[in-house]
Structure 1
């Protein structure tokens, strides 16, 4: 059993310090996931706090300690999707462009806009694969479906993204 799995086992049994160590280990992954969905640093930080609370409250429901990270990311994705539904808008925030100014190049803007134009599952699978560097196996576990299904969804998502980018006259190659 790995050191992380031992920490998870302790956290499930109520060890708060073990839980905090685990959150510390995965906070960057949580933040990157939230930022890729919410497109706002403050909202992403708030999401990390909320998901940390939800994970703490529900740690006893974790069935397999080896899937802690997957379980945590799944909570984050669900939270982010709920937040996006509440806003009922998936419009790229013009303020982000002006605030980030020269840090955001045209290709990044086109990619973010194209991602926002995809369906929820496509955005989710692309985020897990390319922004969180998750393996197909882990994505399948997170999304609770077979690996073959994940591969099919990933191919469809990439094709849809490519079409959106090409439709905008973008020179990004996916």
Structure 2
């Protein structure tokens, strides 16, 4: 992968296109988690690809390409969100109605849609994209402890959203565990 990045940095257009193809699913997932709307996601991804192409020569360490690219994507998503805030539109993530989506995927996406945005992006980057806490801190320009706190609060919010409200007649304890990774 590093060789592909180096080729792209030195102007190999085919290498750049292959690099974008390899990372397109990751970009889509992150943008979808932030924006929710497929049209906005497409705009954010397209703008990210263009920005990456224009500024690829500014990348200092090829091994951090994905982190650099995701940060650009998040900035593009934030631009789109700030544009919508000017119009006072609610930030709702519509339900995704794919026919081939597994029940677990559907439940996960539905639960993510109910999580507050600062926690949603952290959960997405951590669990879906597999970034470490230090990488997430760098991508979002946050302190590592802030990322840890938001990850913890996001897990708590996910737990609250996922579990039904407990009634007094329930005799079995209601528990959910979200696997944690060292980051």
Select the residue among 44, 48, 62 that pairs with 1:47: 44
Does the CA-based 8 Å contact 1:77-1:124 persist in structure 2? no
How many residues are matched?
164
- Tell me the TM-score normalized by structure 2: 0.72
Change (3 A) 1:104 1:21: closer
Larger Rg: 2
Structure 1: 5+ residue stretches without partners: none
1:90 aligned residue: 91
**How far does the alpha carbon of each residue in 1:40-93 deviate from its partner, in whole angstroms, 9 at most, with x for none?**
333323322221111111112212111001111111111112212222221243
Structure 2: 5+ residue stretches without partners: 167-173, 179-183
1:127 aligned residue: 124
Distance 1:16 1:100 in 2: 33
Distance 1:25 1:109 in 2: 22
Distance 2:82 2:158 in 1: 21
Distance 2:84 2:160 in 1: 26
Distance 2:38 2:126 in 1: 21
Q: Superposition RMSD on alpha carbons, in Å?
A: 3.0
Distance 2:28 2:36 in 1: 11
Task: Give 1:23 shift.
Answer: 0.7
- Tell me the TM-score normalized by structure 1: 0.75
Distance 1:70 1:102 in 2: 30
Which segment is superposed worse, 70-79 or 147-156? 147-156
2:26 aligned residue: 29
Select the residue among 52, 55, 60 that pairs with 1:58: 55
